[in-house]
Structure 1
Amino acid sequence: MEDKIATAEKKVLVEMVRLTQKRGMRGSEGDWKEFLNSRDPKFGASMSDPSKRPNDLLIAFLKTFNKEDDLMFLDKVLQCNEKRNFVKQVSQITPGNESPEQKLVRLTLEHPQYPLEYSFPSYDKEWVVTKFSQKSKGPNSNLIYAIDCEMVLCEDGTENLVRVCMVDRDLQVKIDELVKPRKAIKDYRTDITGISPGDLDGVSCSLADVQKSITKFLSHGRTILVGHSLNNDLQALKLDHSRVIDTSFIFKYSNGSIYRRPSLSKLCKSVLGYDLRKEGAPHNCLDDAQAAMKLVLAKLGSKADDTIAIADEDTPQVGMEKLLLHRIPINVPSEALARAIHGDFTIELKPPKKGQGGDIYSALAIFKNPKEAQQAFEEIEGSADEDSSGRPQKLIRFQHSGSIVSIYVRKMGQKDFADKFSSKKRDLEVIENIVMSKKQKTDNKMEIETISNSSKCCNHVEEVERLKQELKRKEDSTHCCDHVNEVESLKEELRRKDYELSILRKTITIVKKDSKKKKGKKR
């Protein structure tokens, strides 16, 4: 580790020192400011900006860390920077234009989630690291192999490799091996992996054997390794390889966050035009490796766009089991609505909106599921129409108390469920009002509130990250239909936390600016 730190670039050293400050890390001589006070009596912590300090001092400080957790963290920072510089190194070594294959490698390395997902503990003895060699011939090799792994859950809570498949550019199988786990198995996850206890009888292939087989194809780091969420496979293989293409990074949803990565099944359906597996069927390691290779080949052949549309089955169905009945005359009781629509449903009255006349009201017809609601809407005999937002509805007429009554029946859309979030957003206007009141605080109160809000902000950042990870896990689930309600709830909570976080940051900025102004006036 000391050798790595000693040879690191200035910008990397500066980043490492700043991160230690941010994390509150302390070496054998204290934190960064305490270190400066002891090493530099003249300026001390008054000049704490690491970018203004010489390399020797930065290196000396970083070498004061000797705890295992601290060293692991610093090593990860170095890894991230080494891998981000990898594409630049290749560009400098290789004359001419960037190859299509290298472009996909670059897109993977430049993805904002790459540093987090591909920072491996490769310092561990079991790990194999394939490093890019500048002396190797053909550093911009376009050799490509796709890989996929299956993992089982062990009794200690960790995952162990149980099967690995690798295919070449022609989809020919190069490796298809069952691997004997190194630990006692708690759950084979047969419904996901397709592996059952009997499949491993007589299997002697070890992790080290698989690592040796794979590295033979990697040409000293020059070969490109392809996979979907490839970081999970490399983690299982304990293999750190820099030249990678992650198909979950090079494709994205057309109207979604860059952090929402499409599943392999979704990409196969949207990009390649076929179903990767039947609903509920377990994964097939070989099929997944071949699918990842096909996606890359489609990109290389310019047959696939960078973005994919979200198909109908991705659209949340929460609330779609309802039909909206509106503009109902007040003299028509809710019991009479059962004659207007066919099917098995219950009626739920909606509270009147502000400004809505007292002579009409609205209600919801709630069915058992979206399919029954859709069928009931189609069977309604009435004039097809659209509301002001373009949502389909029908004008129906029926007889009540000797007169003809007219009401509208409309299918529910996703806009109907934005109201819940909007109302919460209005509740947060109170927070915005607090922002303006900060200007009237004294300097001492400002400092106290800044610290308080900073603490809240940090808590919100952690909460937002937790929600994003949980949401990603639910969205990536192969049984996503079971998690629709939970996913929608997480999305709504995430939007709320994001909004609160933006307000808190705004508050802190304003308070700090006002504090500086008042201090300037006192001087």
Structure 2
Amino acid sequence: MAEEKMDFRAEDKEILVKIVKLAQAYQIKGAKGDWKEFLRVRDGKLGSSLNDPSKRSWDVLADFVKTFTAEEDVELVIRLLKWNKRSKSWQSRMKRVLDKASPKQELVLLTFQHPKFSKCYTFPSYQKGWLTTKLGKLPEASGAETMIAIDCEMVQCEDGTKEVVKVCVVNENLETLVDSLVKPSKHVVDYMTSITGVTSEDLDDVTCSLQDIQKTLKRLLKKETILVGHSLFNDLQALRVDHARVIDTAFIFRYLNKPTCYSPSLSKLCKVVLGCDLREEGKSHVCLDDAIAAMRLTLAKLELGVNDPIDMGESEVSEADLSKLYIHNIPGCISMEDLMNLFPKEYSVEIQMQYVQEFSRIKNKSSTTFAIFKSSEDANGAFEILNGILEKDSYGHPQKRVWFHKRGSKKGANINVRVRKMNVVDEEAPTSQLHGCSIDPIVTRNTSSDISNNISKYDTEETFHKQKKTKYDKNTNQENMMQNVLEKECNGCIHLEEKERLKKELEQRNAEIKSLQRIVAALTRKHGL
């Protein structure tokens, strides 16, 4: 029976690669052992295909997957196949709906076409514990769809993940459908009360679980229902809900003088589009108000025809925020001590952990933090001295990519973080996370007269030179790959917005390559290489 369900074809190679990688991560073994043992028995050839299953043909991958005998392993494969089929089906429907879309469907389509959609809305809903709603047929009559808006508050748990603590849902008439506290299933280390407004005492008599909320949402999310929210993917990830028809208010507006991927905060959108403040400055979130705000923004887009680009202006940054440096894309192998050592010892600096995003366990955890200095002058000075490659983030703001040399690590040159000055508010993190949060510093360093040399992050200047040369070669290959992707657009493989995004990214890579060329040339002259 299992073999009948696991009937693969050549076009299934992409999902087969994913299944094999999952098998490696979860240490799944079949009747012929794990992936390595299977290859050794099959043909004795290991090579690079051991770590990169995509280098094997689809039939070899399929033969390995068919050796799975454990019931839970076979179930995982079946769930992945359904997940893959559902994902492809929805993508196909979105491409067909363009010419006959209703106004609400157009907003679903706008969300789907956003350059961040595939990254943000690809959920591991093949895992157990997820609620995956049915697709159904797209309503043909305009206005036949219904909309509900949702917002959640999350708390920080002991294992570094976040869990839902409150859920609110409203309909198009702004009537409350759900307003419920939720009991987290894990031990909570930070209720983030300054943001959520929830304390441990509030949960003393709460019995509602995440599973109870999922049952409620299953009743509300019909086939024709469109789910609305701001940065909705965060809520869906925490709720463990995969619903295809979504309108994300962070994705559906266009902005003057901002890149396509720009995502303003909900508060700022309310002020600019609706002409009102979402909440008083410094006040904690009100979950119900946020759900209502997302619905009002969507209705404004539909009813008032807010189609022209919006001038969001520049965010005002307080002196307290200007004394910080924003550090992001921090891999799990980097410690707070490593981050402290980024900056010369002449500066007094605190490192604060801000929030950790949850990823599936086949991926490394990536986190963000702030380096807090005594003044904005110190922050600027530390950034200028910081040894790294100057580049631009996804919003076009200058930042530095800084590499670590971790002793004992063969891939030390590839371990890096990004550091950006706070001369602009980071829109991806709520403003309330930038100031007003009570987060204790994890590491503090007092001022020292011992000024470390910038090159001391690396063992020697020769090592530094080799690392930059490796990075230059890598980026040259990336440039060629991006150019190939852009050429495929002529065959209809990529829509126009994606093409523009790739062009901008290619320009950024070119600038980085030129910078690396100058560094390599200078070091070559210096060392006579």
The interval holding the TM-score normalised by the smaller chain is: 0.5 to 0.7
Name the structure 2 match of 1:505. 474
Matching of residues 18-33 of structure 1 within 5 Å: none
Shift of residue 145 of structure 1? 0.5
What SS is found at the alignment partner of 2:167?
strand
1:59 aligns with 2:13: no
1:100 aligns with 2:107: no
Name the structure 2 match of 1:169. 172
Matching of residues 41-440 of structure 1 within 5 Å: 56-63=59-66, 79=83, 82-83=86-87, 85-89=89-93, 97-134=100-137, 141-219=144-222, 221-251=223-253, 254-301=256-303, 302-305=305-308, 308-313=311-316, 420=384
Shift of residue 126 of structure 1? 3.1
Distance 2:120 2:480 in 1: 36
Distance 1:18 1:65 in 2: 15
Shift of residue 147 of structure 1? 0.4
What SS is found at the alignment partner of 1:165?
strand
Q: 2:432 aligns with which of 468, 478, 489?
A: 478
Distance 1:192 1:175 in 2: 20
Distance 1:47 1:124 in 2: 26
Distance 2:300 2:101 in 1: 18
Shift of residue 281 of structure 1? 0.3
The alignment's TM-score, normalised by the length of structure 1, stands at 0.54
The AA in structure 2 aligned to 1:232 is N
Shift of residue 212 of structure 1? 2.2
Q: 1:505 to 1:224 in 2, by over 3 A?
A: same
Q: 1:228 to 1:276 in 2, by over 3 A?
A: same
The AA in structure 1 aligned to 2:163 is N
The AA in structure 1 aligned to 2:434 is C
Name the structure 1 match of 2:13. 13
Gapped regions of structure 2 (runs ≥ 5): 324-373, 392-409, 438-467, 482-529
Distance 2:18 2:208 in 1: 45
What SS is found at the alignment partner of 2:179?
strand
Shift of residue 303 of structure 1? 1.5
The AA in structure 2 aligned to 1:249 is F
Shift of residue 86 of structure 1? 0.5
1:251 touches 1:308 (CA, 8 Å); kept in 2? no
Q: 1:4 to 1:158 in 2, by over 3 A?
A: farther
The AA in structure 2 aligned to 1:281 is K
Shift of residue 172 of structure 1? 1.6
Distance 1:17 1:479 in 2: 38
1:153 touches 1:186 (CA, 8 Å); kept in 2? yes
Q: 1:315 to 1:70 in 2, by over 3 A?
A: farther
* Aligned-pair identity (%): 39
2:263 touches 2:427 (CA, 8 Å); kept in 1? no
1:179 touches 1:206 (CA, 8 Å); kept in 2? yes
The alignment's TM-score, normalised by the length of structure 2, stands at 0.54
Gapped regions of structure 1 (runs ≥ 5): 321-367, 371-411, 428-453, 484-498, 513-523
Q: 1:46 to 1:119 in 2, by over 3 A?
A: closer
Shift of residue 241 of structure 1? 1.3
Distance 2:127 2:19 in 1: 23
1:83 touches 1:109 (CA, 8 Å); kept in 2? no
The AA in structure 1 aligned to 2:474 is R
The AA in structure 2 aligned to 1:503 is Y
The AA in structure 2 aligned to 1:275 is D
What SS is found at the alignment partner of 2:205?
coil
Shift of residue 309 of structure 1? 2.8
Distance 1:472 1:81 in 2: 36
> Which is bigger in relative contact order (C-alpha 8 A, separation at least 6)?
2
Q: 1:225 to 1:425 in 2, by over 3 A?
A: closer
Distance 1:507 1:83 in 2: 33
Q: 1:206 to 1:34 in 2, by over 3 A?
A: closer
Q: 1:91 to 1:217 in 2, by over 3 A?
A: farther
Shift of residue 291 of structure 1? 0.8
1:166 touches 1:289 (CA, 8 Å); kept in 2? yes
Shift of residue 213 of structure 1? 2.1
Distance 1:500 1:272 in 2: 51
Shift of residue 189 of structure 1? 2.2
What SS is found at the alignment partner of 2:220?
coil
Question: What per-residue deviation string (whole Å, max 9, x for no partner) do you get for residues 382-423 of structure 1?
Answer: xxxxxxxxxxxxxxxxxxxxxxxxxxxxxx9xxx99x94999
What SS is found at the alignment partner of 2:250?
helix
Q: How many residues align?
A: 375
The AA in structure 2 aligned to 1:480 is L
The AA in structure 1 aligned to 2:13 is L
Distance 1:173 1:10 in 2: 49
Question: What per-residue deviation string (whole Å, max 9, x for no partner) do you get for residues 217-268 of structure 1?
Answer: 211x331101112122223322221111222233465445555522111211
1:253 touches 1:308 (CA, 8 Å); kept in 2? yes
Q: 1:281 to 1:201 in 2, by over 3 A?
A: same
Distance 1:111 1:459 in 2: 29
Matching of residues 480-495 of structure 1 within 5 Å: 480-481=434-435
Distance 2:85 2:478 in 1: 30
Distance 1:23 1:113 in 2: 28
Q: 1:50 to 1:214 in 2, by over 3 A?
A: closer
Q: 1:425 to 1:113 in 2, by over 3 A?
A: closer
Distance 2:145 2:211 in 1: 26
Q: 1:136 to 1:215 in 2, by over 3 A?
A: farther
Matching of residues 435-446 of structure 1 within 5 Å: none
Distance 2:259 2:201 in 1: 42
Shift of residue 19 of structure 1? 9.2
Shift of residue 101 of structure 1? 1.8
Name the structure 2 match of 1:436. none
Question: What per-residue deviation string (whole Å, max 9, x for no partner) do you get for residues 145-185 of structure 1?
Answer: 00011223344544332221111112121221223333444
What SS is found at the alignment partner of 1:248?
coil
The AA in structure 1 aligned to 2:213 is V
2:282 touches 2:436 (CA, 8 Å); kept in 1? no
